[in-house]
Amino acid sequence: MAIASTSIAFIAYYLTLTQVFDAKLTQKSPKTCSNVKGMAFIKGGTLFMGAGAIYEEETPLVKRKIQDFYMDRHEVTNAQFADFVDATGYITVAQKLPNAEHYPNISPELLKPGSAVFVKLSEAVEAGSFTNWWHFVEGAYWKKPFGPNSNIEGKEHFPVIHIAYDDALAYAEWKGHRLPTEAEYEYASRGGLDGAKYATGNTLTDDGRYIANTWQGLFPFTDTAEDGYVGLAPVGCYPQNHFGIHDLIGNVWEWTQSVYYPRHFDPKQLPQNLPPQGYDQKQPGVAVGVIKGGSYLCAEDFCMRYRPAARLAQDTGLGTSHIGFRTVKDLAN
């Protein structure tokens, strides 16, 4: 799938910026992290999709029937993705030079391989718009997540990032798996707790222990790391939910196979004029998919999307430093 033109415009703008983020994945306090491999069985049932909605795109409440399935116990890691790349020679979207013929309105010298990296702001005066929080970094991709001078040594058990939709899809197909639907992801993240606000209950803490890797402090200036980490955390560092699955909220946003529309629809009453590639009014004409779960950048004073009901539109041709994925498998496979 080609990168959408708005993504290239986004990239072209950031190629004019000179600040480079000196990213550090800092652990504030020791944690015991589980690296349990394999998949968890999820018994199907009824999902009231959108329960606990806060934002308009999470409505209306719709009823879904979910079949039994298996889901990865944690996000796909750097080590797992490396195995895939070693076996197949796969090259991710972020590593590819965009085809200039697809983007006649963009100067060819601005079409560079790379990806978007979050930059924490230190002064409020710089926060004129969200674009100050993200820099396009030429040469950033899953193996060099913050640019050519970075690497993932010692971070084999961290979730792989800078993953576009096609990258996630290719990995899942190689495994003989698939990506979850939006409904399956929401059902799994509820962990059998009907209507619960978060993936393990109704609060983000349990006896003072954080249940997910999110942002504490004033976003986007200071992350106090009360949950133990600044930035990404290794997989399995926070409690599993009632299905035995880790990190379904927080840490990284995760791809689903579902296209995005700005509301839920009853499957029996789908409008006939829905564009098959999805639609987001902020990105008209761009193919958009649903990402779920929120990330380490979700804060109480900013996005509040570390909830099962939360959903976001993502350009399918663009990965970032806070988007990863996990896979699911049908019982017959």
Per residue in 18-39, pLDDT (tens digit) is 233 333 344 444 467 877 789 9
pLDDT of residue 123: 40
Which pair of tokens denotes residue 52? Answer: 């606990």
Give the three-state DSSP class for 58: helix
What type of residue sits at position 136? Answer: F
Is residue 174 situated within a structural domain? yes
- Let me know if 139 is exposed, middle or buried by CB neighbors in 10 A (0-12, 13-18, 19+): middle
pLDDT of residue 269: 79
Q: 178: which DSSP letter?
A: B
pLDDT tens-place string over residues 156-185: 999 999 999 999 999 999 999 999 999 999
pLDDT of residue 22: 34
Q: How confident is the model at residue 98 (pLDDT cuts 50, 70, 90)?
A: confident
Paired with 329 in beta bridges are: 70
Is residue 134 situated within a structural domain? no
What is the extent of the structural domain holding 172? Answer: 34-93+155-330
Paired with 215 in beta bridges are: 299
Interval 137-142 mean pLDDT: 95
Measure the CA–CA gap between 321 and 46, rounded to whole angstroms: 34
Measure the CA–CA gap between 84 and 78, rounded to whole angstroms: 10
Which phi and psi (to 5°) does residue 110 adopt?
A: -95, -5
- Number of domains into which the chain is organized: 1
pLDDT of residue 199: 67
Is residue 25 situated within a structural domain? no
pTM of this prediction? 0.87
Is residue 1 situated within a structural domain? no
pLDDT tens-place string over residues 185-203: 999 999 888 777 776 677 7
CATH code (residue 247): 3.90.1580.10
Cα–Cα distances (Å) from 187 to 165, 193, 328, in that order, read 21, 9, 13
pLDDT of residue 45: 96
Which pair of tokens denotes residue 121? Answer: 């702001």
Is residue 100 situated within a structural domain? no
Is residue 104 situated within a structural domain? no
Is residue 253 situated within a structural domain? yes
Q: How confident is the model at residue 15 (pLDDT cuts 50, 70, 90)?
A: very low
Is residue 203 situated within a structural domain? yes
